[in-house]
Amino acid sequence: MANRTIIELNNKIEQKTITPSQILQECSQEIDRAEDELNAFVTVLPKESLEAAKKSGKRAELGKRLSKLDGIPVGIKDVFCTKGIRTTASSKMLDDFIPIYDATVVKKITDAGAVMIGKNNCDAWAHGASTENSDYGVTKNPWDLSRVPGGSSGGSAAAVAAGECLFSIGSDTGGSIRQPAGFCGVVGLKPTYGRVSRYGLIAMGSSLDCVGPIAMTTEDVALILEVIAGHDEKDATSLNLPVPKYSDKLTKSIKGKKIGWVNEFYETGLNDEIIKALEAVREVYASLGADFIEIKLPHAKYSIPVYYLIQPAEVSSNLGRYDGIKYGHSAAKSENLIDHYFRSRDEGLGAEAKRRIMLGTFVLSAGYYDAYYKKAMQVRTLIKQDFEKAFESVDIILAPVAPTTAFKIGEKVDNPLQMYLADVFTAMVNLSGNPALSLPCAFDKQKLPIGMQLIGKHFEEETVLNFGHQYEKATEKVVWRNNKTVI
């Protein structure tokens, strides 16, 4: 199923040249063949998916398909609650946790007829940029098995790239959809904050968390977004705005549109091949008639320190609920109630979660709050204002996704700060709340995908997807599009 798209398979189901069961079988074969090595899933659902595919096939026969996603195999990052199906957040803390309800996004996807094939691996609690923090083992990059797939939605991106499913639903707090999409050569969208409901998403940083799709093409992403976007009473921060028909707006001409280019992004620490790739993207857009305007985001360089103060603060609050009492890991032996909390949390949480809880507790504690947390929230305002100002003169901003291509497994595990710097081009967009798309634009000399990022105005996923699709159409015939994963 690698390199096939939802659009293509949807047409074939409509024309009755393929059935949902046949599609599922092909994906399941990929899983059987690749999964031992790849480890992109925490849980695979052979029985449930077979059942769902059969039902979908019946609907197709009767001409009563629920949506274009009806019968399409989907992976769900294991941070979304799935009713009756184990949901671990890739942490031993939730090793045997069975949710009693579906996350809104899961409900929308399954109500649309998509076939849930499994729960994708990720960094535990979505903390990380490599999936190395998963308590269920690292996911490998399908382009080079000695490298990470990125993270935290690494299992989602790897599974899509390897053809184990056609799309996956991920979450993005500081780059967790876009960076793995970039590392694995697939397309990932972080919508505007609130565009997709967070209800049933195991919370990480509540003011930053966004839910979005990972798929093979921008067209597929547009289709999925149409299904999952929209207001939800159960998430007070979800946006009460109409959801455009994104897939109808992809072919609009971008002639005369203005693209923002930030020189500072290319000045420090960015790998040469990525710079060249982004310059080539610029030429493609110029040939489509778009104009480039140099813009400044003077506070963007502070996004990592701001992000790594605000996000741990929110993490420390959100992980407070894992106390060994209501659900999740509970210490077998403890002396009293307080001791029970200490032991359950010690045994259930991994090194990165502990680090973030500790950092968050520090920056929120009396005496340090103003100097760290409040300061970070103030600089967040300045970062957001930089974007607002930039968008007065441009329609979209072109940026790298990450400073490098996929790095080696183990390369950054002993240096948390190095790992955090992988988020340098993505976290700023979570701080400002804007939508951003990550899509492949080249391969480097080591045959690893290079991603590009398109950042749009608040609520304008439409523009971001339009620009992404136009780029894909213009580069349809480039040689690297025929590259194959090694698995």
Partner 1 sequence: MRKITKEQVEDLAKLARLGLTDAEKTSLAREMTVILEYSMLLDEVDTKGVQPTSQTTELKNIFRKDCKVISDIDINEKLQNAPVKEKSFIKVKKVLE
Q: State the residues that interact with partner 1 by CB under 8 A.
A: 96-98, 100-101, 192-194, 207, 233, 236-237, 239, 299, 302, 304-306, 308-309, 316, 320, 323-328, 330, 334, 336-338, 340-343, 345-347, 349, 351, 354-355, 357-359, 361-362, 365, 372, 374-382, 384, 416-417, 420, 431-433, 458-459
CB of 27 to partner 1, least distance (A): 30
CB of 452 to partner 1, least distance (A): 23
Among 176, 303, 344, 432, which one carries the catalytic annotation?
Answer: 176
Nearer to partner 1, 36 or 414 (CB): 414
Q: Could you tell me which residues are beta bridge partners of residue 147?
A: 408
Among 21, 28, 49, 77, which one carries the catalytic annotation?
Answer: 77
Token output for 157? 């991106």
- Alpha-carbon gap, residue 193 to 142, rounded angstroms: 30
- Alpha-carbon gap, residue 97 to 88, rounded angstroms: 6
Catalytic residue status for 176: yes
Nearer to partner 1, 321 or 481 (CB): 321
Among 49, 152, 156, 438, which one carries the catalytic annotation?
Answer: 152
Q: Are strands 396-400 and 167-172 parallel, antiparallel or unpaired?
A: unpaired
CB of 102 to partner 1, least distance (A): 12
CB of 354 to partner 1, least distance (A): 6
Nearer to partner 1, 69 or 225 (CB): 225
Look at residues 85, 77, 37, 138 and name the one whose alpha carbon lies nearest to residue 409: 138
- Alpha-carbon gap, residue 463 to 465, rounded angstroms: 5
CB of 171 to partner 1, least distance (A): 16
CB of 38 to partner 1, least distance (A): 30
Nearer to partner 1, 98 or 478 (CB): 98
Q: Please, how many CA atoms are within 13 Å of residue 57, restricted to the half-sphere of its CB?
A: 15
Catalytic residue status for 77: yes
Nearer to partner 1, 3 or 361 (CB): 361
Nearer to partner 1, 401 or 431 (CB): 431
Nearer to partner 1, 5 or 316 (CB): 316
Nearer to partner 1, 10 or 434 (CB): 434
CB of 379 to partner 1, least distance (A): 5
CB of 157 to partner 1, least distance (A): 25
Catalytic residue set: 77, 152, 176
